[in-house]
């Protein structure tokens, strides 16, 4: 697994262990946290370092790869596109090259709803045209296309999972979302609840939505992980490739997120309306019918309040994120 020290990858570790997989985490710890690696074996390394990566494949009997490592900020991808094309695209090609050289042909890829760009129809189905409007979405779209080619030429078997907005935290393990800097809405809102005087910046209230703020489909990180495990099992069993949306199918505006967070935290959360953020589109809501039909996937936490509650639990107990644990080292 790459990116196992990151937010989503770390949530996969225990469930994979319970499903009977031995996990090797390959992560450069550039954004992840050593303390998030709560199961499996951590190898600190960079995807740009093909030699180190190759050594991992030579040393272990690897049968499949889940590729979580990725930069994931839409706004940053507009100002620093090179970072996104190198880390998300070129480094994924390195990983695939090393995999194929070692005859490893099962791959679960963390893609994104941003491959669709501005949706023409809602909810978005997997066959909706892909027309990304920011370099982050482009980097994922390029990899998706390359995977389809490699499937034909090299018999790679992949599951492309197009996440909508990953949110929440484990309700069992003490792990959660801790990015530095944080740019994602729910952690920002919860940090504002923890720190009086911090004002949430709402990026635009002139979108074509019920209250003018952007609509997103928030899906619990544990549900994203169950989609991963079902997909991996399906690759093993059916020996074919899949592409699925992973979203809850419900959309909430930025203002609705803030309102729900106020109710859960019982804190005042101030916000101010700012300019639109470059790269944003007004609404992104998934149709998750395909993964439900083909793999029987169903999100366990559908209500926004349930999702935010698990995130609040993590932030409240770990106000400095993983630094709470790391500072004693
Ligand atoms: N957003 C916001 N203020 C913030 C962070 C995000 O208004 O401080 C909005 C953002 O414009 C988008 C939504 O919240 O419409 C979700 O953004 P996030 O960065 O969490 O995820 P993304 O959709 O970019 O993956």
Distance in angstroms (rounded) separating the CA atoms of residues 258 and 261: 5
Distance in angstroms (rounded) separating the CA atoms of residues 45 and 47: 7
pLDDT of residue 197: 86
Distances (CA, A) of 136 to 100, 164, 240: 25, 13, 27
For the CA of 74, the closest atom of ligand 1 is 24
Q: Is the CB of 183 under 6 A from ligand 1?
A: yes
Hey, which residues does 137 pair with through a beta bridge? none
What is the model's pTM?
0.97
Ligand 1 pocket test: pick from 139, 185, 214, 216 the residue with the most ligand atoms within 8 Å of its Cβ: 185
Ligand 1 atom 24: residue of nearest CA: 74
Q: Is the CB of 165 under 6 A from ligand 1?
A: yes
Each residue's pLDDT tens digit in the chain (329 positions)?
999 999 999 999 999 999 999 999 999 999 999 999 999 999 999 999 999 999 999 999 999 999 999 999 998 999 999 999 999 999 999 999 999 999 999 999 999 999 999 999 999 999 999 999 999 999 999 999 999 999 999 999 999 999 999 999 999 999 999 998 899 999 999 999 999 889 999 999 999 999 999 999 999 999 999 999 999 999 999 999 999 999 999 999 999 999 999 999 999 999 999 999 988 999 999 999 999 999 999 999 999 999 999 999 999 999 999 986 665 44
Phi/psi at 42 (5° precision):
-90, 125
Answer for the pair 69, 91: CB distance below 8 angstroms, yes or no: yes
Instruction: Give one word for 192, left, alpha or beta, with left for phi > 0 and alpha for psi -120 to 50.
Output: alpha
């Amino acid at each position: 697994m790459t990116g196992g020290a990151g937010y989503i990858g770390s949530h996969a570790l225990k469930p994979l262990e319970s499903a009977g997989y031995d996990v090797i985490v390959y992560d450069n710890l550039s954004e992840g946290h050593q303390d998030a690696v709560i199961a499996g074996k951590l190898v600190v390394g960079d995807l740009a370092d093909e030699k180190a990566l190759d050594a991992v494949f030579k040393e272990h009997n690897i049968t499949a790869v889940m590729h979580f490592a990725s930069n994931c900020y839409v706004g940053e991808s507009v100002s620093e596109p090179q970072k996104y094309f190198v880390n998300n695209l070129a480094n994924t090609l390195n990983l695939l090259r090393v995999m194929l050289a070692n005859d490893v042909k099962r791959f679960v890829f963390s893609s994104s709803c941003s491959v669709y760009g501005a949706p023409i129809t809602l909810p978005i189905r997997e066959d909706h045209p892909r027309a990304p409007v920011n370099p982050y979405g482009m980097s994922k779209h390029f990899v998706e296309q390359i995977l389809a080619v490699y499937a034909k030429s090299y018999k790679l078997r992949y599951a492309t999972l197009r996440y909508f907005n990953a949110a929440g935290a484990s309700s069992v393990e003490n792990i959660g979302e801790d990015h530095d800097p944080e740019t994602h809405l729910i952690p920002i809102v919860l940090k504002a609840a923890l720190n009086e005087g911090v004002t949430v910046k709402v990026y635009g209230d002139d979108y074509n939505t019920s209250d003018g703020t952007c609509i997103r489909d928030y899906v619990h990180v544990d549900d994203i992980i169950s989609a991963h495990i079902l997909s991996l099992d399906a690759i093993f069993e059916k020996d074919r490739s899949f592409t699925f949306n992973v979203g809850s199918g419900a959309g909430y505006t930025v203002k609705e997120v803030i309102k729900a967070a106020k109710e859960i935290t019982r804190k005042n959360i101030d916000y101010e309306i700012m300019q639109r953020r470059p790269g944003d589109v007004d609404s992104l809501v998934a149709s998750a019918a395909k993964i439900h039909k083909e793999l029987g996937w169903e999100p366990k936490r559908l209500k926004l309040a349930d999702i935010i509650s698990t995130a609040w639990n993590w932030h409240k107990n770990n106000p400095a994120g993983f630094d709470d644990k790391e500072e004693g080292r």
